[in-house]
Amino acid sequence: MTRPNMHYADLKDSYLFRRIAQKTTAYERVHPNTHLYRMGIGDVSLPLCGAVIQALHEAVDDQADVRRFQGYMPECGAPFLREAIAAHYGSRGVALDANEVFVSSGASDELGDILDLFDAASSAMVVEPAYPAYVDANVMAGRHIVHVPTCEEDGFLPQPSDATRADVLYLCSPNNPTGAVFSRAQLQEWVDFANQCESIILFDAAYEAFIEDDELPHSIFELDGARTCAIEICSLSKTAGFTGTRLGYTIIPKELERCGMSLNDMWVRNRTTKTNGVSYIIQRGAAAVFTPEGQHQIHEGIAVYKRNAKVLMRALDEADVWYCGGRNAPYLWLRCPNGMGSWELFDRMLEEIQVVGTPGEGFGSCGEGYFRLSTFGNPQDTIEAAKRLCKKSVFR
Ligand code: PLP
């Protein structure tokens, strides 16, 4: 008999979003004409910007012209896009060779696939509350997971210690779901720790474009020593609205070696075996993000979400609810008042003010008692949701 990968049996049921969907569907069935204010999902509401749309159209036309038609793309990414991304890092003071940039179909895909680089017996540290894919990808691979809980007292940003030792260290900054962002000094401690332990940091920078404070690092490669201990995984999903269009990129420095093996070379070998590259059309659209026009336009979109964040933050202030995030990240992480459970707050919000959020428990057990609101909704809905949040009754 063919034995399946039995580690799948160890996965916890991903009931969070299913349970949210069940509850909202049940509510809608009973209240068919009631509009719900969906502040739960991490999906964007704005369309792609003009520069990207134009580039996508031009690329489609290329595919109709025998002289400009593109077949298979290079597996690690089109040189025009790898160079554009490297130049973008360069403009922020991080020197990269274009061959250190790998184009992907998105951060989620990479966060799972990249585990191919590590020995099956290696362990992974996950800071919780966490984006669920870190834990699940490692459970599927049967790896030992070191769960590191965080809390309000440490600002949801742990310090390295004996309790955080593992072969692979997941760090996400700005963080989903807490919105916490590592300072330069805090991130430097992790880089020094990883170099000392010969661990590798997988730095998830999917939300770096939301950082407003100049002193906060956008990339781990702004820190001394990161080139010998870190891989950065990034995405255009939230930066430029590519959640449905799909494009991400991964940075693996040439200096990153373990046991005499270059992880950059290994990833080239992996990609050239396991992919045939990302679509030419999508890569052309992505390259437009890194033009001056594209940068201007995507930041106009991000400004819309930041206005949403301010609207929600004012409402929570008025309702006298403790929260963090929202300033350098597109999520607000609030404490459910009076010891309320996160599902209890979910039910109250749904029933009383028709606002749908995400119970914190879905991001790991230390998320219980907290609740995530997303700022990616459309502005009209966000304004109305904020008005409703000001009604303190749901927080009593
Ligand atoms: N990393 C984090 C922290 C995320 O929150 C998400 C998506 O919500 C991703 C990665 C996945 O991004 P992508 O759409 O590029 O797969």
Q: Is the CB of 175 under 6 A from ligand 1?
A: no
Q: Would you state the pLDDT for residue 168?
A: 98
Q: Is the CB of 176 under 6 A from ligand 1?
A: yes
- What secondary structure letter does DSSP report for 152? T
Q: Is the CB of 285 under 6 A from ligand 1?
A: no
pTM: 0.96
Other CB atoms within a 10 A radius of the CB of residue 254 amount to 14
Q: Is the CB of 250 under 6 A from ligand 1?
A: no
Q: Is the CB of 131 under 6 A from ligand 1?
A: yes
For residue 298, give the 3-state DSSP assignment: helix
- The closest-lying atom of ligand 1 relative to the alpha carbon of residue 242 is 14
Residue with tokens 């057990």: 365
Q: Would you state the pLDDT for residue 225?
A: 98
Q: Which residues pair with 125 in a beta bridge?
A: 146, 169
Q: Is the CB of 103 under 6 A from ligand 1?
A: no
Q: Would you state the pLDDT for residue 82?
A: 98
Q: Which of 204, 209, 172, 176 is nearest to 49 (CA)?
A: 209
Q: Is the CB of 243 under 6 A from ligand 1?
A: yes
Tens digits of pLDDT across the chain (396 residues): 999 999 999 998 766 788 899 999 999 999 999 999 999 878 999 999 999 999 999 999 999 999 999 999 999 999 999 999 999 999 999 999 999 999 999 999 999 999 999 999 999 999 999 998 999 999 999 999 999 999 999 999 999 999 999 999 999 999 999 999 999 999 999 999 999 999 999 999 999 999 999 999 999 999 999 999 999 999 999 999 999 999 999 999 999 999 999 999 999 999 999 999 999 999 999 999 999 999 999 999 999 999 999 999 999 999 999 999 999 999 999 999 999 999 999 999 999 999 999 999 999 999 999 999 999 999 999 999 999 998 767 888
The residue type found at 108 is: S
Q: Which domains does the chain have, with CATH numbers?
A: 6-48+294-391 (3.90.1150.10), 50-291 (3.40.640.10)
The answer to whether the CB of 275 falls within 8 A of the CB of 283 is: no
The angle at the Cα of 9, spanning 5 to 10, to the nearest 5 degrees, equals: 110
> Rounded CA gap, 218 and 307, in Å?
21
Q: Which of 353, 337, 304, 315 is nearest to 38 (CA)?
A: 353
Q: Would you state the pLDDT for residue 15?
A: 67
Longest dimension (CA), the chain: 67
The answer to whether the CB of 141 falls within 8 A of the CB of 173 is: no
CA of 221 to the centre of ligand 1 (A): 20
Other CB atoms within a 10 A radius of the CB of residue 253 amount to 20
CA of 108 to the centre of ligand 1 (A): 5
CA of 107 to the centre of ligand 1 (A): 5
**Kind of pairing, strands 257-258 and 248-251?**
unpaired
